[in-house]
Amino acid sequence: MDSIRRNPVAGNGLRAVVTGGAGFLGSHLCARLLQRGCSVVAIDNLSSGDMRNINPLFGCGDFRFLEHDIVAPLTLRADWIFNMACCASPTHYQRDPEKTMRTCTDGVLNLLREAQSCHARIFQASTSEVYGEPEVHSQAESYRGSVNPDGPRASYDEGKRCAEAMFFDFHRMYGVDIKVARIFNTYGPQMQVDDGQVVSNFIVQALRNEPLAMNSDGSQTRSFCYVDDLIDGILRLMAAPKRVTGPVDLGNPAEITVAELAERIIDLTGSSSRIVTRALPVDDPTRRFPDISLARTALGWTPRISLDEGLSRTIAWFKNDLGRLRRLPSPPEAERAVA
């Protein structure tokens, strides 16, 4: 075990468990861990994960899948545990806010107890949503956020904040070896076609030559990190010395308006789509981009994939599923944009 911890990035012989392993980020993480020679168990209840994301991994080294909901107790044998479980899309997590909150509380508690029991290092995929509607720009880890505990996003935002609190309590009380990353908007191949995220929404609409439905006037800003860069940051954090617990912001610090993103996707797809607007959802942040100074100094990490390159790769992946794109229903009348 000590020899593994001295050079954990190599991965050889490392036992890794990835909850949410059939999801967008989880499946990319599983693939990278296998490439590094790890033994990988992906755990997912398939509420939003997709077996198609991980089917190519069977037969690629020591890879196993367990269909399980982390809200229920489980027994793990692992050196590294990555908690990637919990729907990140408002479209999904708002369907069952109780389940969303329980995944972030009961589920996280189960995993922390297992990490304590098997002396594993454990990673929490936290989120930029813990900053809420930020009052400072850019957002650094020292900022405590401005979250609405009563709004429609609270089950996710407050659930993730609670998960962070439990991680640091287990670290202080029991010496559990923790790592916490606050993940900003991430995109890339294997995003769900119907997850409601702005990048996937715009790409799907553009490829179908439908109007790109933009919230408000599109002046709100985001930053978009390509998935390969994010996974590199996660693994660097996991390999960092024990004292580097986080939280660490992981995201692309390049700020772009949603309107600019829409124009860029129309251009890259060659679409005939036009841009239309709809009402801004409740508690939707108006500005969101990270200060990654800590990630640069502590992890030697910075994103490398440009937005145009990343979008081109992502569009190419979506084009391979054009048949499914055409079968998707149009948004219901209540959700359609207005010009």
**Residues recognised as catalytic:** 156
Q: Are 337 and 277 in contact (CB under 8 A)?
A: yes
Partners of 139 in the β-ladder:
290
Q: Cα(78)–Cα(118) distance, rounded to whole angstroms?
A: 7
Strands 256-257, 63-67: pairing is unpaired
* Cβ-proximal residues to 177 (8 Å cutoff; 6+ apart), any chain: 115, 119, 120, 121, 122, 171, 242
Largest CA distance in the chain: 61
The DSSP code sequence of 316-337 is HHHHTTHHHHHHSPPPPGGG--
Coil, helix or strand at residue 15: strand
The helix (H) or strand (E) run that includes residue 117 is: helix 108-118
Coil, helix or strand at residue 16: strand
Angle between the 154-174 and 108-118 helix axes, to the nearest 10 degrees?
20
The one-letter amino acid code at 170 reads F
Q: Are 171 and 112 in contact (CB under 8 A)?
A: no
The one-letter amino acid code at 84 reads M
Q: Of 295, 286, 288, 191, which Cα lies nearest the Cα of 233?
A: 295
The DSSP code sequence of 217-235 is TS--EE--EEHHHHHHHHH
Q: Are 328 and 261 in contact (CB under 8 A)?
A: no
